[in-house]
Structure formats: C-alpha cells, structure tokens
Structure 1
Amino acid sequence: MTEESERSAADHAPLRPPAGPDTGRTTLGLCSVTFRRLPAAEVARRAADAGLAAIEWGADVHAPAGEPGTVRAVRAVSDRYGLVCCSYGSYFRATPAESAAFPAVARAAVLLGAPRVRVWAGGTGSRSALPDERHETVHCLREAARIAADHGLELATEFHGETLTDTVASTIRLLDEVGADNVRTYWQPPLDTPDEQALAGLVELGDRVTAVHVFSWWPGNNRLPLADRWSLWVAALGLPAVRGVEALLEFVPGDDPAVLGHEAETLRRIAAQTSTIRRGRP
C-alpha cells in the first residue's frame, strides 16, 4: 500500500458522518488483521458497510510504525468512512530486543488517533519463562507505559498463548508487577476452553479488561460462525465489568470478507440482547 493509493481511495469514497462511540453501550468494531490481504481502504469500507463503528489497525500490514506516510493515509481512510480508531495493534513484544522501537509505535498510534496500543507480553509462555526473562518483560512494559503516557496513550496486553498473559493468574500478576495506571489487558476466549471456564477468567480479570477480541473458534482455531458460540458471547458482553469496552471482531470463517456483514449483524444482536438483560427485561 502506498500513501498515494490510499489518499486516492479516500478521495473517491462516499462521505460518511463520524461515528463516535456511545459510552452507554458496547462499541462494536473490527480488527484489520481479519483481512490482512485487503488494502486498508477496502477494509475500512467493508467495516463501515457492515455498520461497525470502530477499527483496530494492525501494524503488521496496514499501518507499519516505520511508515508514517502510510499511517497518515490509513487515518484519512478511517476518517472518510466515519470509523473511530480505537486501538493500534502494534505486535510490540516488550522484550529488550524491541524496546528501542516503541517510541515509533507510540507516534504511529498518535497519528492514527488511537487512544490505546495493543502489545504482547514477551515471547515466552508464563510456565516456561525464567525469572530473569519475566523481569525483563516487566521492565520493558513499564518503560513502554511511561512513553505511552507521555503521548496520552493506554497500553493493553494481548491475552494470548506463549506470552506472560497466557493465563488469568499470570496476567493479573504481570499487571500488578508493572504497576502502571495506563496498562490494562485485552481478553479473548482461550483455545479449547469450555464457556464456563472462559467466563470465570473474564470475571476474575474484571475491570482490568479494556477490550475483547470476538471470534468463534472450536475446536482449536477452527473458525466457526460467531452464532455458534452465541451463549458465550451473550454472557461475556453482559458482564458489568465489560460494559462500555470495545467488542472487536477478529477473524471470520474462511477469512472471507463476504461474511463480515452477517458476522457484524450477529454481534449487534448479541450486544442488543445483553443490553436487554442489563435492563432486567425478559
């Protein structure tokens, strides 16, 4: 993707009014990594056409931190389609080898208008990480949190295998060790974890969760329609601690852009049901 091509796409896109988040409701959005092979303008158009309000732009393909011109063009595309950039998916690993790269990550997030940077808590699972390795990751996250704060940003760790946030207990321990007010975590259902167990973990994380990645995988990473885990997501998005955070679609069956509209409609129905439950209606 080039800056010129993205600007051209934005110039020819239909103008849409800005779609700011409603603080009384769960904001629904899309992670751009869902459609890595599509240009940013196409991802934004499809998200807007699906009725989604927010987008998390990924640094791996669409908005590389080292390409500020591309990042500016992606911001222009987001604005054109009325999408709020709720997060920057940086893939920063919080290791000594990557620490020097974080200032550029923070600058890219600011260019995107993102209030938050998603990061990874190292590159080793909590059961395998040596004490020194854990200490290094904590130190790197503290430093990244300081830089993020200087830019008015929040950090959020990916809740993911092979990192120090691969379990609820290790995530809570890590956030306590980092001890920064602007560091929270994402949540997603762990692979092959029954609904009840996954929800218990989300409850334990509580208000440490700043956003959730929404998908329906079972077993393993077999990508099912979102409706196939309807009860999980109704329960998850209905929790008081999750109210008001972003619910971001991440991956769809077959990585097929054509199913995004249907998946987004399912997510809207889930969110509507959770709102009804919160109001105490049948």
Structure 2
Amino acid sequence: MPDLTLGLCSVTFRNLDVPGVLAAATGAGLAGVEWGSDVHCPDPATAREVRRLTDAAGLRALSLGSYFRAESHDDDFRPVLDTALALGAPRVRVWAGTLGTDASDSAHRTRVTQELQVAADAAAEAGVELALEYHRSTLTDTLESTLGLLEDVDRANVGVSWQPNVDQPTEDALRHLEALLPRLAGVHCFSWWPFDARLPLEAREDLWLGAAEVLRRADRPVDVMFEFVPEDSPAALARDAAWLRRAIGQD
C-alpha cells in the first residue's frame, strides 16, 4: 500500500485553540494537520505562528483548509495563497463555486473554471497544489461534474479531496473514490449515517476498509485527515485513529 499519512482537520475542533488542536493530534498519534482558515489560520501572520507551533509539536502542515470559492466576487485567492505559503502548506483546499450542478448554467461553470485556472496558475508558480472539496452545493457535487470540471480546468496541480457524500451508500461512495483516484489530493475521513449523525469510524467499517483497499492502488502517498468526530471529542479522535491504524496495518 502507498504511504497513508494520518492527520486531522483542525475544523473538527473549532472550539480549541491551536495548542489544543495540536495536543489532540499528537494524543491520537497523528502526523499532521490541515489547518482551517476560518478559525485557526486566517492570515499570513497567524499562519507563521501556527507553523512554528506545528513544527515544535513534531507535526506537519498537510494543507490549508481554505474557504476560497471560485466564482464568488467576495473572494480573492492571493491572500489565501500567501497564508498557505506562510504556513508551509503544500496544498490548499478550495471550493468549486457557490452553486450545485443542477443550479448552474454554462456561464456559471465557465466562471468557476476560469477562476480555478487563475488560482491554479498562481499556486503552481509558488509550488502549491489545489484540492477541490468534494461537496454538495458546488460543481463537485457529482462524480460526472467533478471529472468534467477537472478536465476543463486542465491544470496538473489541481486535484480532489474526497469524502463520502451525505447519505451515500458504501458501494457508491467507493465507486466515486476509485474513479477519482488518479486526481486524488487527499481524503477527509469520518462516519456519518444517516445524513449527518456522527458515528465512530468503525460503525462504517465496510466503507473505510473498502476505502483503504481502493487507496492501495494509489500511485503516490495519500493524506487521510480525520474530521467531524462524535461530540467534537479528542477522545473520540484517538479511538477512531487507533482503529484505523489497526485496520490498515500501521499498528
């Protein structure tokens, strides 16, 4: 199996400060953090301090989890990129617009594509990758739309951060992961069922053991980042991380 780096999305613990997030990650035996730009890492000055604390904890900044939405007139990618560079993050999570596929027309899709191209070119010049959030109410809300968008954007440094869609059956979720594998930038790891009811990771063992099997066929290392643990609990994170390590043979 390619190397799977287990990490944490800091948005899982918006109620904790940066040292608290780092303590939760190290307590769970994780290797790095995707730092969210909404609370923990909003600007370059803060990012430099987050980087110092992350390094001191012996962890890596896996990604900047931004809320940049291509096509939104309120968003400017340059400050996001500057924050990622100050953080030392190799990747920025971005969003494919503000509308879902069914609500979009060709003009909207063109604007999203063009803004992603501009952002990708700026990121590539700085040696940074972009990861489209695989998420409802954006142009990555279906597999077909996501694959088409990646083809239209046509930038080697743009991939996808996969996660199971809400209420998506296991077989269908794994089919999506398999199809996205060539452009996979990372995985957000959680168990919701039904809808957004948070469960221990083991409660969807078929999904996550199946995902691990799919990831065996990746041709490069993959970051698997825990998100949305039950009750926003560091203890739940530690439990889920221990289970996944055992399941994939890292223990």
TM-score if structure 1 supplies the norm length?
0.85
Contact 1:26 1:243 in 2 (8 A): no
Alignment of 1:178-257 (within 5 A): 178-239=153-214, 240-241=217-218, 244-257=221-234
What corresponds to 2:79 in structure 1?
104
Distance, in Å, in 1 between the alignment partners of 2:220 and 2:130 is 19
Match of 1:119 among 94, 108, 126: 94
Q: Distance in 1 between matches of 2:16 and 2:219?
A: 30
In the alignment, does 2:246 pair up with 1:263? Answer: no
- Does the 8 Å contact 2:72/2:97 carry over to 1? no
2:39 corresponds in structure 1 to 61
Task: Please report how far the alpha carbon of residue 238 of structure 1 lies from its aligned counterpart in structure 2 after TM superposition.
Answer: 1.7
Cα offset for 1:130?
Answer: 1.3
Quick one: structure 1 residues 96 and 162, their matched pair in 2 at CA, closer, same or farther if it must change by over 3 Å? Answer: closer
**Whole-angstrom distance in 1 between the partners of 2:152 and 2:115:** 12
CA distance in 2, matches of 1:82, 1:196: 37
Identity fraction in percent: 48
1:157 alignment counterpart: 132
Would you say the 8 A contact 1:94–1:137 is kept in 2?
yes
How far off its partner does 1:96 sit? 4.5
Which consecutive residues of structure 2, in runs of 5 or more, have no partner in the other structure?
none
* Number of residue pairs matched by the alignment: 249
Partner SS for 2:73: coil
Greater radius of gyration (CA): 1
- Offset, 1:107: 1.1
Name the one with the larger strand percent. 2
Partner of 1:81: 57
Whole-Å separation in 1 of the counterparts to 2:114 and 2:185: 21
- Higher RCO by CA contacts (8 Å cutoff, separation 6 or greater): 2
Cα deviation 1:31-87 (Å, max 9, x = unaligned): 00000010011101110121000110000000003xx22111111110011111111
For the pair 1:174 / 2:152, whether they are aligned, the reply is: no
Distance of 2:22 and 2:100 partners within structure 1: 34
**1:132 corresponding residue in structure 2:** 107
Aligned to 2:21: 43
**Secondary structure of the residue that 2:41 maps to in structure 1?**
coil
Q: 1:29 to 1:227 in 2, by over 3 A?
A: same
8 A contact 1:26–1:271 mirrored in 2: no
Give the TM-score taking structure 2 as reference length: 0.95
Separation of aligned partners in 2, 1:206 and 1:234: 16
Deviates more, 1:134-143 or 1:88-97: 88-97
* Alpha-carbon distance in 1 for matches of 2:64, 2:247: 25
- Give the Cα separation in 1 of the matches to 2:156 and 2:197: 36
- Answering whether residue 3 of structure 2 is matched by residue 28 of structure 1, we say no
Question: C-alpha separation between the residues in 1 aligned to 2:99 and 2:52?
Answer: 36
Distance 2:236 2:39 in 1: 21
